[in-house]
Chains A and B, each alone.
Chain A
Amino acid sequence: MANKKINYYLTATVLLAPAAIIYIVFLIVPLLQSVWMSFFTWNGIATSPMEFVGLRNYERLISDPEFYRALINAGWFILGSFLIQMPIAFGLALIISSRIKGIRFFKASFFMPVILPITAVGLMFTFILNPNTGLLNTVLKNMSLDGLAQNWLADPKIAIFSVVMVSTWIYAGLNMLIFASGLTNIPSVLYEAAKIDGANFRQTLRHITIPMLRNTFVIYSVLAITGSLRTFDLVFVMTEGGPNGATYVPALYLYNEAFRYNNFGLGNATGAFILVLGLLISSVVNKFSVDR
């Protein structure tokens, strides 16, 4: 009997341990180390010692204007997610949940950008947004809208918005599916009742669809905020934070401080900051969901 029990635990260990060990050693431990190392300075040379400095990395972090700029730009990503991407994604969700013809084609084309390599998409758009030879400005000139043509990625005033727009181009399709799956969960009786009561499209949208999607909006908000705080690939590929730091984002700040300027302590403090801020905001936003 005891033998059987040992066997049972042995089997469980064999099946669980490989996953758990890889996950703990290469993800959980580095995460904890990162928080721990944020209280030290270190120049990145394996043999040179780490020096304990308490909260000084965090003091340096919050007094660095570059970091503020990175946070503000993350804020632009968040604002873009709510003011531009959310209406688009919601509208697209209404379209693919409707009964128009060619839904499969539309759904596939709306979603396609999500699965493409961000590097390829980012580079593609650096060519499209090129001020002299790019597609966008050429289209604008052909439509005699020369006034709208811009130096999209090199003008510090608008570079961040260009990157936010490309990010919208990529992720609207994914968020469309999130809203669409929320829409399918609304009982159709509600719509039938509204129809009998003579409600028009706008009234139905306002009094049934949007209130019933409350949890979906909460999920979207968490995703939009945490995703914005983590942005890295697109900015790295398109502008590397330039022109002149105008498109800096927190993860890029971390990358540059650590791997360009060898300020590993400051980098780790940034990592811990992104982690805590993300968890904090998600837990606050989640409070708005119902029945959880």
Chain B
Amino acid sequence: MKLRKHLPLYIVAIFWATITIYPLIFTALSSLKNNTEIYTTMFGLPEVYRFDYYKRAFIQGNMAVCIRNSFILALSSTAVTSLLASSASYVLTRMSLRINKYVMTLFTLGLMIPIHSTLIPLVKMVSSFKGQNSYLTMIVLYTAFNISLSLFIIAGYMRGISREIDEAGIIDGCSQIQLFWHIILPLIKPAVATAAILAFLFIYNDLIFALMFLSDASMHTISIGLMAFVGLRSTELGPTFASIILTILPMVIVYLLFQERVESGMTAGATKG
């Protein structure tokens, strides 16, 4: 009875799960096949597992460098963004400044601004101090463009923490900095984690800033590295599929490790964006 009632749901669920997951499995299998196998046994397992395609993606495809750069940029920008967003949230939600309301509105505005509308002046600015191909430029830009969302998530959570904690801290002789660092920061860890995972995802997946500001092959990130490798139009598809899998894999792992946080963060981020 119950199964019969739910049968249509199962059918639709299995259908869409196939549509989302099968292309990834297909790409993973194709990354181990040579061209003939891809064309003739498209749905089958590879006859020989050609793992050296991965080696070629890493070395010829520059993927080792690209993945390293993407991780360096995503991790460091996420750290900077999280720290700055947390400290700013502390001022905006727990200290009484007359300008707080306006500053908050200004930060919220950032959720609505299309990145492309700022692109031309940014390029002009960065080239005026020859800031292309530099980690520092990228970290600063990624921070500027992710801080609104991080601040929004962290400040929202911080508002829910009782003010009595602050009063108790002040009576015990805490300075504002100590209160922030030793008392509030440990309490807002869940929000910081959510904001950090989101920032990490956006930065790791970024295309446009990398496209505009990173032209040296030694500075390439996964997005432009992948495009450059495919652009070579190598006759063999295996290494190309391998490089796609290599860039996808870290995100799949991050997602499976932090499933709940990624989902709730993306929903919160999207509905306010």
Contacts and interface: CB of A to CB of B under 8 A. Distances in A.
Interface of A: 7-9, 11-12, 14-16, 18-20, 22-31, 33-34, 37, 46, 88, 91-92, 94-95, 98-100, 102, 105-120, 123-125, 127-128, 133, 135, 138, 169, 172-174, 177-178, 181, 219, 223, 226, 229-230, 232-233, 236-237, 251, 254-255, 258-259, 264, 267-268, 271-272, 274-275, 278-279, 282
Interface string B107-125: 1011011111111111111
Given A34-B117, A100-B9, 7 more contacts: A22-B143, A109-B17, A117-B248, A174-B266, A178-B270, A223-B273, A268-B121
Interface residues of B, number: 91
Contacts of A111: 255, 262-263
Interface string B186-203: 000000000000000100
Contacts of A108: 255-256, 259
A27 B110 contact: yes
B113 A275 contact: yes
Interface string B203-236: 0110110001000000000111011001000000
Interface in B224-273: 224, 226-227, 230, 237, 240-241, 244, 247-248, 251-252, 254-256, 259, 262-263, 266-267, 270-271, 273
Given A22-B140, A123-B230, A279 B112 contact: yes
B181 to A, nearest CB: 10
A268 B123 CA distance: 12
A34 B262 CA distance: 33
A258 B230 CA distance: 25
A126 to B, nearest CB: 8
A109 B20 CA distance: 6
Contact of A18 (B84, B95, B128): B84
B12 interface: yes
A34 B121 CA distance: 6
A1 to B, nearest CB: 15
Interface of B: 6, 9-10, 12-13, 16-17, 19-21, 23-24, 26-27, 30, 38-39, 42, 84-85, 87-88, 90-92, 95, 97, 103, 106-107, 109-110, 112-125, 127-128, 140-141, 143-145, 147-148, 151, 175-177, 180, 201, 204-205, 207-208, 212, 222-224, 226-227, 230, 237, 240-241, 244, 247-248, 251-252, 254-256, 259, 262-263, 266-267, 270-271, 273
Contacts of B267: 174, 177-178, 181
Nearest to A181: B267
A34 B120 contact: yes
Contact of A19 (B16, B117, B147, B222): B147
A268 B120 CA distance: 7
A251 B116 contact: yes
B239 to A, nearest CB: 13
A98 B251 contact: no
Contacts of B270: 174, 178, 223
Contacts of A31: 113, 117-118, 121
The A interface is mostly helix, strand or loop, or mixed, namely helix
A102 to B, nearest CB: 8
Q: Which 8 A-B pairs have the closest CB atoms?
A: A26-B144, A271-B117, A33-B121, A19-B88, A30-B121, A19-B84, A30-B118, A15-B87
A98 B9 contact: yes
Nearest to B144: A26
A12 B116 CA distance: 32
Nearest to B267: A177
A251 B6 CA distance: 43
B112 A95 contact: no
Contacts of B227: 119, 123, 237
A94 B17 CA distance: 15
